[in-house]
Structure 1
């Protein structure tokens, strides 16, 4: 257990926050700090063909130790952390033998991790938890996944009696800003299929995810002295507010679950002359995904029609960009790869939780690039914020799942 704790902490204490405003890959220079450390560590544990390219994509090989032909499988995680909350100066706290009560993350700021609010905590009573100190995120998303992959490879290298085929591992930058798979060389990786270790609670196994798009709507206005503004001023901020009010009130993240899609306003900036609304669009159904995009276009058309005579031009401009699609379409034809992971979990005493991802992983895009890639739990909870934590026992079980998948894939048929 201590080995996993030490490895995990050595990763999360390196700041790797990605930057959505950067055009480079990786988007932040500090991601290189962990990338170089991982390359050195992979070489140190005995992995072969360890490479890192000019964009910080890392790949390595564990050669097969069986003579018969075995599919090449892969395991993938990302090393960046979200820009939603700071990942600088992470100070992990280790809670041994968790008693099921409130955890004081930061006494000075009265930041409490409480099972009365985060009920999942109670299932880890008696286990060892790693939490934040209440001032940063933890980075279990997805440094827990990296910890598990490296530890599993090290275990297989030290225990050659466990039979496995060729295994490829890959670590990516910028997943948190939707670019993790953009420059991933699937042909170079050379796996028949792979698994991202990027899920949450123990047992999660996912092969469905949202179809996703981002939208930016710019509202124009006319600034006139407020004392003489009647019939002349157009306040773009009020237009933006009116637009938001016309979005379906029950189709937002905090009011949906399961397969239910949503619109999510992520940012507003503005002045009288110009305001911008940013939002994301999510739906598991391709049909409903298209319908949501159409709804926004129609809504903006109504704004333009209403104000065209007064403004003299389009008062609202909408731009929608697709981000990723539901991997289900690419995974279902090779569904045995999900069954292998499911069987691996059952054989080591884990009840699989097969459910749709209310989000996305590198595996979504990789599946559409020709590398079918379901998602497996990494163990963490409350990602992207100060209440993030991970049970060490869940990370240990994830390591066992990786090892068992390797074993099952290598069995003679």
Structure 2
């Protein structure tokens, strides 16, 4: 099957995850793609195919090599971000992109151009897939799923291609930070693995943000506004003041590279009670601890000047920087560099301003750097991907299998 056809089929499934849910997976609809992939792998001849009750799909292709080879794994996630609709996607294909502006939605005056998306300059001549400006596309991470499944199809149809054990997994709920909570590393069976969940196809990552979530609860005092002097404590006002104290230079829109940030992701409430959800990110854990301390100091100060205890913060560790683990297995990074060179790419090591399932998996005993997919502008209607890059992604996985 052509990789573009496979990708377009996968994005037709609405697999948006839900950060407020406590079920596994967080949404029932993720099972639809999980079941489809399970059936597809069985038809291709993959061994040990299983879809778990938690929505994880496992599969294995047994070694056909006479020489001992390490078991290599590849992982992608099936869910799409809650940040934008993943329902009723209408992808558009631009053949042999000539350069210049790409109209996504004329009515909404939405377009892509090389000024705001400089990566387009390097994709002239590629076949691109975009949205119609009303939903996200789902390249994050169905491009990764399509790359892995196209690799699986090649291996299953070319039995003379020598390889060790190849371990495959597709996870739900990565976008809400729960992609690995039910992952069975022992069952998976790989000595090391790669998540296929990045951007540019010539980029790879073996370091990522440390990540915390901060749930801020503000309990105020509500009185009639006409008779509230000296009595009212407005939870909304305290929330605004709290956020201001964190500064404007530590927000996502003001940071780049390895600079960390506070991101106010959600806020709701009234005078009596206001809840705010932040995500905290930094590549350096010492910096992260300083950020946590800054939030605690801001809460303490506002409690003090308002003569009461109004602000509580609950911090939750989401994932850590995988470099701590990957530095102990440098050969799997070298293999990526060499494989890219072998297929004509110039490898670029790029720290992730985010995280992948591979971060948690690395700390679970499965070293797991991240590879690109050829997708860009994730989590929104400006998302697009390159079919040519996805094809190169398949070649890269096959080359890594040779190096195992």
TM range (shorter): over 0.9
Q: Indicate yes or no: 2:333 matched with 1:334.
A: no
Distance apart, 1:82 and its partner CA: 0.4
Distance apart, 1:107 and its partner CA: 2.0
Residue 352 (structure 1) aligns with:
347
Q: TM-score, normalised by structure 2?
A: 0.98
Q: Which moved more, 1:358-367 or 1:149-158?
A: 149-158
Distance apart, 1:104 and its partner CA: 1.2
Equivalent residue pairs, number: 404
SS of corresponding position for 2:317: strand
Q: How does 1:298-317 map to 2 (within 5 A)?
A: 298-308=297-307, 311=308, 314-317=309-312
Residue 384 (structure 2) aligns with:
389
Q: C-alpha separation between the residues in 1 aligned to 2:227 and 2:134?
A: 48
2:375·2:386 contact (CA, 8 Å) conserved in 1? yes
2:201·2:389 contact (CA, 8 Å) conserved in 1? yes
SS of corresponding position for 2:17: coil
Residue 50 (structure 1) aligns with:
49
Residue 241 (structure 1) aligns with:
240
Q: C-alpha separation between the residues in 2 aligned to 1:248 and 1:235?
A: 21
Q: C-alpha separation between the residues in 2 aligned to 1:319 and 1:67?
A: 54
Q: Indicate yes or no: 2:83 matched with 1:84.
A: yes
Q: How does 1:7-406 map to 2 (within 5 A)?
A: 7-308=6-307, 311=308, 314-406=309-401
Q: C-alpha separation between the residues in 2 aligned to 1:73 and 1:218?
A: 44
2:31·2:55 contact (CA, 8 Å) conserved in 1? yes
Distance apart, 1:395 and its partner CA: 0.1
Distance apart, 1:303 and its partner CA: 1.7
Distance apart, 1:248 and its partner CA: 2.5
**What's the CA shift string for 1:198-218, capped at 9, x where partnerless?**
010121110000000000111
Q: TM-score, normalised by structure 1?
A: 0.96
Q: C-alpha separation between the residues in 2 aligned to 1:143 and 1:400?
A: 17
2:200·2:376 contact (CA, 8 Å) conserved in 1? yes
Distance apart, 1:115 and its partner CA: 2.0
Q: C-alpha separation between the residues in 1 aligned to 2:221 and 2:51?
A: 52
Q: Which moved more, 1:217-226 or 1:193-202?
A: 217-226
**What's the CA shift string for 1:117-158, capped at 9, x where partnerless?**
211112111110001111000000000001000101111222
Q: C-alpha separation between the residues in 2 aligned to 1:323 and 1:235?
A: 31
Q: C-alpha separation between the residues in 1 aligned to 2:125 and 2:143?
A: 20
**What's the CA shift string for 1:66-125, capped at 9, x where partnerless?**
122111110000000000000000111010011111111122222212222211112111
SS of corresponding position for 1:334: coil
Q: C-alpha separation between the residues in 2 aligned to 1:113 and 1:88?
A: 22
SS of corresponding position for 2:335: helix
Q: Which moved more, 1:144-153 or 1:251-260?
A: 251-260
Distance apart, 1:9 and its partner CA: 0.2
Identify unmatched segments of 5+ residues in structure 2.
Answer: none
Distance apart, 1:162 and its partner CA: 2.2
Q: Which moved more, 1:160-169 or 1:70-79?
A: 160-169
Distance apart, 1:65 and its partner CA: 1.2
Q: C-alpha separation between the residues in 2 aligned to 1:88 and 1:253?
A: 27
Distance apart, 1:159 and its partner CA: 2.0
SS of corresponding position for 2:382: coil
Q: C-alpha separation between the residues in 2 aligned to 1:96 and 1:363?
A: 33
Q: Which moved more, 1:157-166 or 1:327-336?
A: 157-166
2:246·2:294 contact (CA, 8 Å) conserved in 1? no
Q: C-alpha separation between the residues in 1 aligned to 2:148 and 2:361?
A: 18
SS of corresponding position for 1:405: helix
Q: Which moved more, 1:90-99 or 1:101-110?
A: 101-110
Q: C-alpha separation between the residues in 2 aligned to 1:217 and 1:166?
A: 47
Q: C-alpha separation between the residues in 1 aligned to 2:190 and 2:3?
A: 27
Distance apart, 1:188 and its partner CA: 0.6
SS of corresponding position for 2:74: strand
**What's the CA shift string for 1:351-386, capped at 9, x where partnerless?**
111011000000000001110000000110000000
